[in-house]
Amino acid sequence: MTYSIVARDKKTGEFGVAVQSHYFQVSPAVPWAQAGVGAVATQSRVNLSYGKLGLELLEAGYTAEQALAALTAGDPLAEARQCAIVDAAGNVAAHTGARCIPAAGHTLGDGFSCQANLMEKDTVWDAMAEAYTGTDAPLAERMLAALEAAEAEGGDIRGKQSAAMVVVAATGTGRPWNDRIIDLRVEDNAEPLPELRRLLRIKRAYMTAGEADALEESGDVPGAIAKLHEALEIAPEMVELRVMTGVTMAGAGDLDGGCALIAEAVRKNARWVEAIHRFASVGLVKPEVVAAIEARLAATTRPH
């Protein structure tokens, strides 16, 4: 009793699934995705095997339509199921069984499918498709727009409880921990979609900070600092990003600017001073930088 979207991004080749339901911990049930292979959403009297088997069929060379036909053919409860699949070529297929609880249905588009059951209105899945295609943003944000449109259209007639989003890379590397770009879960919340949007924003901030790490490792410290400031603009409430940015700035010679950011973190939690000492103990920060940071902090702030 859920609404969801499966999609392949035409520009990046990424695959994704996003879902919201009045169901505790929807994340292990509905969304399935594998880099370079495709994505599956299985719901309505959910058959969990559809997720794993669907991806295995796609990996074996089945199209989305062929995989869906194979899944439903041997299922005695197929008419109570709902499932959507997108394959590596962007082909999509969806099934809404005749015994899914109304309102239930799906809409197929170019590289995506929106599906829902037990909805207040039978306009939900079309509203999702319109929002997805009408949003100019990365795949994750477009899928979230589709979920928000579903909720605005009335959503699940029982209400709302949990949400999840998965985005995987266009091609597999053999390292699934790297191929899984976004994996966010709201297991139980009165407002799961606003919480999912908050988590996605924070994820984007930390992804940007990760880009800063790569730049610093390559020797581009000014570029790294610029990226860290970009991350801070995305999620200014994340104290750790202030420390990361401040330490990097201080290490690059901007002690005043770096310490100003660190001082903000120390005011919230004085233990950041000890944390920076521990960074230095394993070579992440130069001891002379720590000493300079401490001297300036002592002159500018009183931790509490």
pLDDT average, residue stretch 238-262: 94
| 215 pLDDT more than 80 | yes
Residue 15 contacts residue 7 (beta carbons within 8 Å): yes
Question: In this structure, how many other beta carbons lie within 10 angstroms of the beta carbon of residue 60?
Answer: 11
In the chain, where are the structural domains located? 2-189, 205-300
Q: From CA 260, how far away is CA 266, in angstroms rounded?
A: 10
pLDDT average, residue stretch 193-217: 97
Q: From CA 231, how far away is CA 241, in angstroms rounded?
A: 7
Average pLDDT, the chain: 95
- For residue 301, what pLDDT is reported? 54
Tell me the pLDDT tens digit for each residue of 88-132.
999 999 999 999 999 999 999 999 999 999 999 999 999 999 999
Q: Kindly list the distances between the CA atom of residue 226 and the CA atoms of 35, 140, 155, in Å, as whole numbers in the listed order.
A: 30, 24, 41
DSSP track, 17-37:
EEEEESSTT-TTTSEEEETTT
pLDDT band at 303 (very low <50, low <70, confident <90, very high): very low
- For residue 27, what pLDDT is reported? 96
Residue 114 contacts residue 92 (beta carbons within 8 Å): no
* Fold for the domain defined by 205-300: 1.25.40
Question: In this structure, how many other beta carbons lie within 10 angstroms of the beta carbon of residue 24?
Answer: 9
* Fold for the domain defined by 2-189: Glutamine Phosphoribosylpyrophosphate, subunit 1, domain 1 (3.60.20)
Tell me the H-state helices in 218-254.
221-234, 239-251
pLDDT average, residue stretch 177-185: 96
What is the chain's percent helix, strand, coil content, to nearest 5?
45, 20, 35
pLDDT average, residue stretch 285-298: 87
User: Same topology for domains 2-189 and 205-300, yes or no?
Assistant: no
Q: Kindly list the distances between the CA atom of residue 55 and the CA atoms of 27, 35, 75, 179, 278, in Å, as whole numbers in the listed order.
A: 17, 10, 17, 15, 44
